[in-house]
Amino acid sequence: MRYLPLTDQDRQDMLAAIGAPNIEALYQDVAADVLLDQPVDLPGFKGELEVDQLISNLAAKNLGSGAAPFFLGAGNYSHHIPAAADHLIQRSEFLTSYTPYQPEVSQGTLQALFEFQTQVAMITGMEVANASLYDGATAAAEAAMMSCRVTRRNKVILSGGLHPHYAEVTATNAKFLSLDVVTNPANPESTEDLAAQIDDETACVIVQNPGFFGQVRDHATLAEACHDKGALLVVVVTEIVSLGAVLSPGEMGADIVAAEGQSLGNALNFGGPHVGLFAVREKYLRQMPGRLAGETEDVEGKRGWVLTLSTREQHIRREKATSNICTNSGLCALAFSIHLTLLGEAGFTRLAQLNHATAIALADKLDAISGVEVINETFFNEFTLRLSKPATAVVEALAARGILAGVPASRLYPDNAELENLLLVAATETVTPTDMDQLVGALEEVL
């Protein structure tokens, strides 16, 4: 067993040093009738080659985004990740270190987190950001709970443009805390009037930009409406690359930003692990969940970093903590930060423009097909089509032709017949003109 360094002789010598006759003696506190006397019924150990072959066979049964024209989004986006980013996160000192509780031997992780927090604050237009949460959906739920703490109110209003998973995770958390969640119906045309729903019990309104169906909007008026009633505005961003081209949530007056950072540095990974971004106005800092790296000095007066404001956290506050969260999504946050550092201001804004231009080109081509209508007036790199047929069957027919065409709205809203023909289509910088032509050609055949 290649991962176990003890030899049988070592084991004998160590048992002798302990004064135990055998290993079972060390399990003396376990009742004899529940202590297993042989291995459980699972296969025995395998060499690296065998394991590689076995898992590679599973991988080969899947159609990956790298092997097909690919147009899926809906909160999880396929972007090019620079080679340096994935190389650097596999440095042993990043990959195999723990949470930086001992700052003197963790300055690398801590400085990287401080830079990450600064980058997140910059692109979201907020004052402070934490060291990351699990993902965008759990970040949205944390934002709802935090809003209730800040305002001492119990009602959360969710836009119909919010990703359904984000709405469901928020609702699940809220249910167990007896918070009142108002979930607006799916809103592909972006016509809802959220301001009218805000009352004196409202802790926050949660909107997404770009919305689940792709529209980009200015939420500044909604922010004012929230603030007039003493409520907070939470803006969710599921495609973080959009912030290279779109007005930031901070500039729109958001109080909390809960976002998914997967698009930078992190592969699709079948939906996880990803990285939740969480940024707030400074005045709400002490109600924020999650880890924080802060600047300080060492005893020689040199600049350094530590985890700080931990009295908000569970290991000190226990049941009174701002959240039960313990870890962050450290390595994914590092990948995000390295990718954004590689891009810089020029690269990030150009990447956003490139995504937008690619999506426009695709939208115009698709809109020209008979039986296809782009319903969006505005979008960034993802938009919604209304097809002449149910979208699920169309997507499956295209998958059979080796094209991964998008996400049918009914995958997430199975009970809403009005959405049956809607298809969400994303086009990132990875989409080539050939990919577009293949999609257009196949769609014309299928419809």
Partner 1 sequence: MATVKFTEEHEWIALDGDVGTVGISDYAQNQLGDVVYVEVPEAGASFNKGEEAAVVESVKAASEVYAPADGEIVEANKDLEDNPGAVNSDAQGAGWFYKIKLNNVADIDGLMDEDAYKAYVAELD
Partner 2 sequence: MSTASGNRALQLEEKLIFEQNSPGMTAVDLPNPAELTNVESRLGDVARTNPIGLPGLSEPQVVRHYLRLSQKNFAIDGGLYPLGSCTMKHNPRLNEKMARLPGLADIHPLQPKATVQGAYELIDMTAHWLKVLTGMPAVAMSPAAGAHGELCGLMSIRAALEARGDGRQRVLVPESAHGTNPASAHMCGYKVEAIPATEQGRVDLQALKDKLSDEVAAIMVTNPNTCGLFENEIIEMTQAVHDVGGLVYCDGANFNAIVGRVRPGDLGIDAMHLNLHKTFSTPHGGGGPGAGPVVLSDALAAYAPLPYVVHGEDGFDLIEHAAEAGDNQPYGRMKGFHGQFGVMVRALAYMLSMGSDGLRQASSDAVLNANYLMAKLGDILTPSYDGPCMHEVLFDDRFLNDTDVTTLDFAKAMIDEGFHPMTMYFPLVVHGALLMEPTETEGKATLDEFVGVIRTLAEKAQTGNAEDFKQAPIYTPRRRLDETMAARNPVLTYKPDQAAAAE
The conformation of residue 345, written as its DSSP 8-state character, comes to H
Q: Toward partner 1, which CB reaches closer, 302 or 320?
A: 320
Q: Toward partner 1, which CB reaches closer, 311 or 353?
A: 311
List 12, 102, 269, 311, residue binding partner 1 (CB under 8 A): 311
Name which of residues 312 to 331 contact partner 1 (CB under 8 A). 316-317, 320
Q: Does 149 bind partner 2 (CB under 8 A)?
A: no
Q: Does 20 bind partner 2 (CB under 8 A)?
A: yes
Q: Are 110 and 307 in contact (CB under 8 A)?
A: yes
Q: Toward partner 2, which CB reaches closer, 13 or 224?
A: 13
Q: Shortest gap between Cβ of 282 and partner 1 (angstroms)?
A: 14
Name which of residues 353 to 412 contact partner 2 (CB under 8 A). 353-354, 356-357, 359-361, 363, 376-380, 395-396, 399, 404, 407, 411-412
Name which of residues 273 to 312 contact partner 2 (CB under 8 A). 273-275, 285, 291-300, 302, 304-306, 308-309
Q: Toward partner 2, which CB reaches closer, 177 or 417?
A: 177
The residue assigned the tokens 């802060």 is 294
CA separation (Å) from 217 to 208, 222, 238, 246?
A: 9, 11, 14, 9
Q: Shortest gap between Cβ of 73 and partner 2 (angstroms)?
A: 9
Q: Shortest gap between Cβ of 289 and partner 1 (angstroms)?
A: 15
Q: Toward partner 2, which CB reaches closer, 30 or 445?
A: 30
Q: Does 202 bind partner 2 (CB under 8 A)?
A: no
Q: Toward partner 1, which CB reaches closer, 55 or 316?
A: 316
Provide the angle, in degrees to the nearest 10, between the axes of the packed helices 330-367 and 107-124: 30
Q: Is the dihedral of CA 433, 437, 439, 440 positive or negative?
A: positive
Q: Are 290 and 131 in contact (CB under 8 A)?
A: yes
Q: Please give the helix or strand (H or E) that residue 406 lies within, else none.
A: none
Q: Toward partner 2, which CB reaches closer, 204 or 216?
A: 216
Please tell me the count of residues contacting partner 1 according to CB under 8 A: 6
Quote the CA–CA distance of 112 and 31 in Å, as a whole number: 48
Per-residue binder mask for partner 2 (CB under 8 A), 179-198, x = binder: --------------------
Q: Are 244 and 351 in contact (CB under 8 A)?
A: yes
Q: Is the dihedral of CA 277, 279, 284, 286 positive or negative?
A: positive
The residue assigned the tokens 């790296």 is 293
CB atoms within 10 A of CB 318: 9
Q: Shortest gap between Cβ of 312 and partner 1 (angstroms)?
A: 8
Q: Shortest gap between Cβ of 106 and partner 2 (angstroms)?
A: 6
Q: Are strands 382-387 and 422-426 parallel, antiparallel or unpaired?
A: antiparallel
Q: Please give the helix or strand (H or E) that residue 99 lies within, else none.
A: none
CA separation (Å) from 201 to 40, 103, 182, 401?
A: 55, 43, 12, 52
Q: Does 159 bind partner 2 (CB under 8 A)?
A: no
Q: Toward partner 1, which CB reaches closer, 306 or 333?
A: 306
Q: Does 146 bind partner 2 (CB under 8 A)?
A: no
Q: Toward partner 2, which CB reaches closer, 1 or 196?
A: 1
The residue assigned the tokens 């084991």 is 11
Provide the angle, in degrees to the nearest 10, between the axes of the packed helices 164-176 and 136-151: 50
Q: Does 310 bind partner 1 (CB under 8 A)?
A: yes
Quote the CA–CA distance of 394 and 421 in Å, as a whole number: 9
Name which of residues 269 to 298 contact partner 1 (CB under 8 A). 286
Q: Shortest gap between Cβ of 316 and partner 1 (angstroms)?
A: 6
Q: Are 412 and 74 in contact (CB under 8 A)?
A: yes
Q: Does 416 bind partner 2 (CB under 8 A)?
A: no
Q: Does 121 bind partner 2 (CB under 8 A)?
A: yes
Report the interface residues with partner 1, using CB under 8 A.
Answer: 286, 310-311, 316-317, 320
